[in-house]
Amino acid sequence: MNSKEKLHLAQQEVYYGQLTNPQSPIYNIGGYTIFKGTFNVPIFKKVIEGLSKVFDAFNIRFDFSENEPSYYLKDRPESVLINELDFSLNIDPRKFAEEWMQNQFNIAFDLHKEKLYRYTLIKITEDEYWWFVCFHHLIADGFGFAIKVNYVIDQYEKLFEGSKTSTIPYPSYTDAISRSVAYLESEYYQKDAIYWKEKYNFIPKPVLEYKKLKRKEGGGRFSVLIPESDRKLFNVLSQQTKANLSQFTVAALLLYFGKTTDQEIFSFGVPVHNRGSREDRKTLGMFSGILPYKGKYIESQTLSSVISDIRQTQRNDYRHRLYPISHLNRSLNLLSENRFQVFDVMVNYEPLPFPKSLSSGLHLEIKHLTSTLGLHSPLSIRWCDYGQDSPLELNVDYQLEYFDEIEIETLVKRLLFILKQFEFSLDKAIKDISILPKEETKLLEDFNATEVDYPKEKTIVDLFLEQVSKTPEAIAVVFEGEELSYKELDNRS
C-alpha cells in the first residue's frame, strides 16, 4: 500500500458535506447511456473492466479512520466491476429500468466500503441496452463523467471494428490532488479569502419560502425537452451577447425575483468544473465547486446591460474559483443564522458534447440522473446540453418543503417565458419585460374584472346591512387566523 495523502479540496468539500448526513444520497452523481442497434456485450464489458488501468481515480482508496480524511493508491489496478440485468421481459422495460435506476440513485454509498461506484448493463430489447452509472462525488464530477463516457465509447468502437485501442495516457488525478493541497498553503488562498469575505460583507436574504409545516420531506424533479427552435434562439442570443445559457438564466432569476419579492440584492449558486488547464480537462476526478453569484435588481437597467454585468462579475469571480465555498460559509458564520449557504437557488449549465452515433451504426443517447431524496439546495436549475445531435434538456430539482409539482411547473413556465423574450428585449429596461405567460395574464385580467353596477341611492352601510340580513352566518372577514361572520362584524361595528 502506498503512503496516505490529503484529499483534493473539492473532495474535502464532499466528505465533510456527507458527514452532516451520512445516510443522504446527495453526493450520488452519474446517469445512463442508451445504446440502440447492434451491441456487442463482451467487447463493452472488456472496455469497462480495463478502466482502472487508464484512470487512477479508480485505484484510489480512502481512509476515514482519523480526524482528517486521507487517501492512498492501490498497488495494482483491480478490474472495474459491471453487473448485468435483463428487463426485456417486463411489460414496460424502459419505465421499469427508469424506476430501478432512480431507486439506485436514492441509496447512499457507505464511504467505509472500497467500491464507490455502481455500474450496470441493462438489456431493454435485443437491440437496445442501457449502461447505468452511479458513483460518489469523491471519485469524480460531471465533467469527469463525460471524460469517462467518451473514452468508453471511443474504445468500444475501435474494438468493435477490429482496430487497436488507444494507448494515449490520461493525466493522473493524484497530481491534481497535490496541486490542490498546495493551494491551501499559498498566498493565493489568502487573497481569495479576502475577496469573497469582502464581496459578502452583506449577505442577501433567501428568496424561497420554507413551508415544512405544510409539506412532506423529500424532493422531486421536473424535466422539459427544449424545442429545437428555442435552442436556436438561445444560440443566436449567445452570439449577440457573448453570454451563455447559465448567465441568461441568472438574468431571468434576477428579473423574476426582483419583481416578485421586496429584495434588490440576490445571491445564486453557480457550479463550475474548476479545470483551469488543458491537462485538468482530460483528468478523471473530482474538481468541481460552486461560485456564488451576487447581483442587484435595478429596474431601469437594460437587459443587455444586466447580462453584461453578470458576465463581468462572473469573470472576476472565476479568478477566485479555487476558494472552497464551505470556507466562505464558515467565515460568515452562517450557521448562527440557521443557514447553510449564501444562496438557496442553483443554476447549472452542462455543455458536454457526446457523440450520438458510431460509424458502426450504434445510436447513442446520454441521460443525466440525480437523487431526488438529497438535494444541495431548495431549487436547482440544470441545463443538460450534450451536443447539437442531442436535445437540450432542462432538469429542475426541488425540495418538497418549498414547492409542490404544480408550483414548480408554473415557475418553470415563467422562467422559459422570460428567456424567450430576451432575443428581442436587449434594449428594454428590465421592468418592461413581462414575467407572466399570456395564459396567466389573461387569468389575472379575468380575475380582476370585478366592475359591477352600483345602486346610487344606497350607501355602503345600507348595502352591508342588507348582506347581514341575507347571510348573517357567512364569513365576512378573515385576519391573522381569526374569522368574523357578517352578524359578528355588524355587532362589533
CATH number at residue 380: 3.30.559.30
Cα 222 from Cα 409, distance rounded (Å)? 7
Instruction: Supply the mean pLDDT for the chain.
Output: 86
Highest mean pLDDT among 96-110, 384-398, 443-457, 464-478: 96-110
Beta strands 345-351 and 379-385 are: parallel
Q: Tell me if residue 241 falls in helix, strand or coil.
A: helix
Residue 448 has pLDDT above 60, yes or no: no
Residue 284 has pLDDT above 70, yes or no: yes
> Are residues 401 and 458 both part of a single domain?
no
365 falls within a domain: no
> Are residues 440 and 476 both part of a single domain?
no
> Are residues 218 and 141 both part of a single domain?
no
**Arithmetic mean of pLDDT, 204-208:** 91
**Arithmetic mean of pLDDT, 19-28:** 87
Cα 184 from Cα 192, distance rounded (Å)? 11
Cα 155 from Cα 360, distance rounded (Å)? 13
> Which stretches of 7-141 are DSSP H helices?
9-19, 41-49, 93-105
> Are residues 405 and 441 both part of a single domain?
yes
Strand partners, 349: 383
Q: Which of 103-117, 246-260, 432-446 has the lowest mean pLDDT?
A: 432-446
359 falls within a domain: no
Residue 296: in which H helix or E strand, if any? strand 289-296
> Are residues 426 and 394 both part of a single domain?
yes
Q: How far is CA 121 from CA 32, 46, 63, 101, 272, in A?
A: 9, 13, 30, 11, 30
Cα 488 from Cα 476, distance rounded (Å)? 9
pLDDT-derived band at 161 (thresholds 50, 70, 90) equals: confident
Model pTM score: 0.83
* Distant-in-sequence, close-in-space partners of 480: CB < 8 Å, separation ≥ 6: none
Residues in the chain: 493
Here the cell at position 376 is 444541495
> Are residues 279 and 300 both part of a single domain?
yes
Here the cell at position 352 is 458536454
Q: Which of 337-346, 398-407, 447-456 has the lowest mean pLDDT?
A: 447-456
pLDDT-derived band at 218 (thresholds 50, 70, 90) equals: confident
Confidence (pLDDT) at 13 = 93
144 falls within a domain: yes
Amino acid at 274: N
Cα 432 from Cα 425, distance rounded (Å)? 9
**The Cα angle at residue 138 between residues 135 and 142, in degrees rounded to 5:** 60
Residue 108: in which H helix or E strand, if any? none
| pLDDT tens sequence across 327-349 | 999 999 887 777 888 999 999 99
370 falls within a domain: no
What DSSP letter does each residue of 319-369 carry, written as one string?
A: TTTTS-HHHHHHHTTGGGGT-SSS-SEEEEEEE----SB-TTS-EEEEEEE
Q: Exposed, middle or buried by CB within 10 Å (0-12, 13-18, 19+), for 247?
A: buried
Q: Exposed, middle or buried by CB within 10 Å (0-12, 13-18, 19+), for 125?
A: exposed
Q: How far is CA 174 from CA 283, 285, 286, 287, 322, in A?
A: 10, 9, 11, 12, 17
Cα 374 from Cα 397, distance rounded (Å)? 10
> Which stretches of 185-223 are DSSP H helices?
187-199
Number of domains within the chain:
3
Cα 176 from Cα 171, distance rounded (Å)? 9
357 falls within a domain: no
Residue 362 has pLDDT above 80, yes or no: yes
> Are residues 439 and 477 both part of a single domain?
no
pLDDT-derived band at 210 (thresholds 50, 70, 90) equals: confident
Domain hosting 476: range is 452-492
> Are residues 235 and 193 both part of a single domain?
yes
> Are residues 115 and 78 both part of a single domain?
yes
Q: Tell me if residue 72 falls in helix, strand or coil.
A: strand
367 falls within a domain: no
Strand partners, 292: 269
Confidence (pLDDT) at 445 = 46
Cα 163 from Cα 173, distance rounded (Å)? 28
Side-chain half-sphere CA neighbours of 477 within 13 A: 13
361 falls within a domain: no
> Are residues 111 and 135 both part of a single domain?
yes
Here the cell at position 271 is 457550479
> Are residues 426 and 468 both part of a single domain?
no
62 falls within a domain: yes
> Are residues 248 and 120 both part of a single domain?
no
**Arithmetic mean of pLDDT, 450-464:** 55
pLDDT-derived band at 481 (thresholds 50, 70, 90) equals: very low
**Arithmetic mean of pLDDT, 347-359:** 81
Strands (E) in 2-127, as ranges, are 5-6, 28-36, 60-63, 70-73, 83-86, 117-125
Among residues 174, 203, 236, the one where a domain terminates is 174
For residue 53, the domain's CATH number is 3.30.559.10
Cα 376 from Cα 104, distance rounded (Å)? 18
Cα 396 from Cα 348, distance rounded (Å)? 10
Among residues 125, 146, 174, the one where a domain terminates is 174
HEC string of 421-458 equals HHHHCCCCEHHHCCCCCHHHHHHHHHHHCCCCCCCCCC
Cα 123 from Cα 130, distance rounded (Å)? 7
> Which stretches of 279-334 are DSSP H helices?
303-318, 325-331
Among residues 174, 201, 225, the one where a domain terminates is 174
